[in-house]
Structure 1
Amino acid sequence: MESTEDVAAIRRLVAEAETHQNDLDPFVALHTADTAIVNIAGRRVAGRDALAEVMKAALESPLADVITRTEVADIRFVRPDVAIVASMKRVFDGRDPEVRQDPRAALPSASGWLTYVAVKEEDGAWRIASAQTTPIRP
């Protein structure tokens, strides 16, 4: 059901999401128009336009200094054009120490399981239809 080309394309998609996490337009373009994202803090964003708005605000704030690294654990194909991708996400807080000391600015976790639903669209490109991060509590 899966091809090595599709597995490689999905791995590239995840890598590009990491690479472009602070680059609004390329990051948003990796998502479907009706994407749904739940971040590590539990905030849900629905739709590519809403994602762009939220990402723009985040990148204009100290959150731009919070960087994540993602390692794919496995890829399971539900059907040839839909895959569930389980990844370990690690969060690195590069914000100013004064910002980090404020309890309201605390990150929920330093790591989490990031699950993507990736879909192969009509143009042949794999895109993120859904992303959910579940924090791992120490």
Structure 2
Amino acid sequence: MEAESPAHAADIEAIKRVVAAVERSQRRRDPDEFLALIHPDAVWTTIRGRVLVGFAEIEEFTRKLLASAEREGTVSYEVTHVRFVRPDVAVVKVRQRYRAPDHDREGAPLYVLSKDEAGRWLLVAGQNTVVAAG
């Protein structure tokens, strides 16, 4: 994790809360909670490489995905690295683990977050990648 200045420490905690909300929304299969974290002009690349541009595309995909998500299993997200590009823009590396009765898999999301005018951190870009076994 990036060396923390007092200012960055508070932002890192806020960013961790955003990632925790992503995890919670996935576990609850709650598209509204997830979508509340998305910037209106966000760009997202799914774990299978589908590119979603803008809130409407991300919303449509998210609602379908969470409605059909596997019911057995659990997912966890852990912030592993934060790099501030500017005081209001951060690149965040996440370790994602999914465990189900018949399989486990790991993902390596990369998120870009920015602060809005109200000081809230929002996801402006996301890229998920499957971690190959072995």
Task: For residue 91 of structure 1, report the CA deviation from its aligned partner.
Answer: 2.0
The aligned residue for residue 14 of structure 1 is 19
**Number of aligned residues:** 125
TM-score (norm 2): 0.83
TM-score (norm 1): 0.81
Measure, in 2, the Cα distance between the counterparts of 1:64 and 1:112. Answer: 16
One-letter amino acid of the counterpart of residue 9, structure 1: A
Matched, 1:131 2:126: yes
Provide runs of 4+ in structure 1 moved above 6 Å: none
Task: For residue 68 of structure 1, report the CA deviation from its aligned partner.
Answer: 2.6
Task: For residue 67 of structure 1, report the CA deviation from its aligned partner.
Answer: 4.3
Aligned pairs for 1:1-138 (under 5 A) are 2-21=7-26, 22-61=29-68, 63-65=69-71, 67-93=74-100, 110-138=105-133
> Which ranges in structure 1 are unaligned for 5 or more consecutive residues?
101-108
SS in 1 for 2:108: strand
Cα RMSD (Å) of the superposition?
A: 2.0
SS in 2 for 1:20: helix
Measure, in 2, the Cα distance between the counterparts of 1:67 and 1:37. Answer: 22
Task: For residue 3 of structure 1, report the CA deviation from its aligned partner.
Answer: 2.1
Instruction: Give the stretch that moved more between structures: 35-44 or 114-123.
Output: 35-44
Question: Residue by residue, what CA displacement relative to the aligned partner does 1:31-89 show, whole Å, maximum 9, x if unpaired?
Answer: 1001111122222212112111111112222x243643111111010000000001111
Counting aligned pairs with the same residue, the percent is: 34
